[in-house]
Amino acid sequence: MFNEDNVSVGYRDPVETASLARTFMARVFSWMFLALTITAITSFIWAASPSLMRLLIKPEGGMSIFGWVVMLAPLGFVLLMSFGFQKLSAPLMTLLFIVYAVLMGMSFSFIFFVYSVGTIGITFGITAGMFGVMALAGYFTKTDLTKFGSILMMGVVGLIVAMLVNFFLKSNMMGYIISIIGVLIFTGLTAYDVQKLKRIGTGMGSDQVVARKMSIMGALTLYLDFINLFLFLLRLMGGRK
């Protein structure tokens, strides 16, 4: 999602590299937590307002044009930030990231009509706990997780294919298996991505513009790990209305 060529290389004192990594990761997690907060607040506000939900759903049922835009736009934002990293300014990257979090919150408002508030809250807590454990594991482990990254990414591709197939099959058993595999994949990706971000942080140069843009892209990566882990766990938890 971001290019490690944007970080400087060369020898640095171990104490200095550790300090750079901590500073960079603090920025990454700050942006990530901000995005999650924006998403959560937005989803609750939209779900609690019938007038706002009517913008997403047609009176006769089904998604409105605006609803489809809200559902599909986040993918466009991710692609724009990823491929436009070099050309986009830091303020514009920040704005895109915040708008992305808002759009995700609007699209997530639908889960309040499918799952009970209690189930959503419990699942969020479990997700936060699992994410936190794996983030710590990825940050402090001495094992190089690089080789697992390619395997996990192949797993994501396979997961997407399986979900598309099950969209037509509508198999509950297959859906359950997909959810279990999804939890395993994004649990592993959390540790892998944190380790990768830590490595990027240790090589971060003095260019504050690049550092800010890299921290936003890092936050986007971890945000997606958290959200996907949450959604797959939610499907496993059940608690549908």
Q: Rounded to an integer, what distance in angstroms lies between the CA atom of residue 200 and that of residue 3?
A: 9
Residue 216: exposure state from Cβ atoms within 10 A (0-12, 13-18, ≥19): buried
Residue 11 has pLDDT above 50, yes or no: no
Positive or negative: CA dihedral 63, 67, 72, 74: negative
pLDDT at residue 240 in the model = 72
Q: How many CB atoms neighbour CB 191 within 10 A? A: 24
For 65-114, what is each residue's pLDDT tens digit?
999 999 999 999 999 999 999 999 999 999 999 999 999 999 999 999 89
pLDDT at residue 188 in the model = 96
For 195-241, what is each residue's pLDDT tens digit?
999 999 988 777 789 999 999 999 999 999 999 999 999 999 876 76
Q: What pLDDT band is residue 12 in, cutting at 50, 70 and 90?
A: low
For 148-184, what is each residue's pLDDT tens digit?
988 999 999 999 999 999 999 989 999 999 999 999 9
Buried b (16+ CB within 10 A) or exposed e, 104-118: bbbbbbbbbeebeee
Instruction: Determine the average pLDDT of the residues in 27-45.
Output: 97
Q: Rounded to an integer, what distance in angstroms lies between the CA atom of residue 195 and that of residue 111?
A: 31
Q: Rounded to an integer, what distance in angstroms lies between the CA atom of residue 47 and that of residue 106?
A: 8
Work out the percent of the chain whose per-residue pLDDT is above 90.
78
Q: Rounded to an integer, what distance in angstroms lies between the CA atom of residue 65 and that of residue 57?
A: 9
Q: Helices marked H in the chain — which ranges?
A: 14-47, 50-56, 65-83, 90-108, 111-114, 117-140, 146-169, 172-202, 208-237
3-class SS at 115?
A: strand
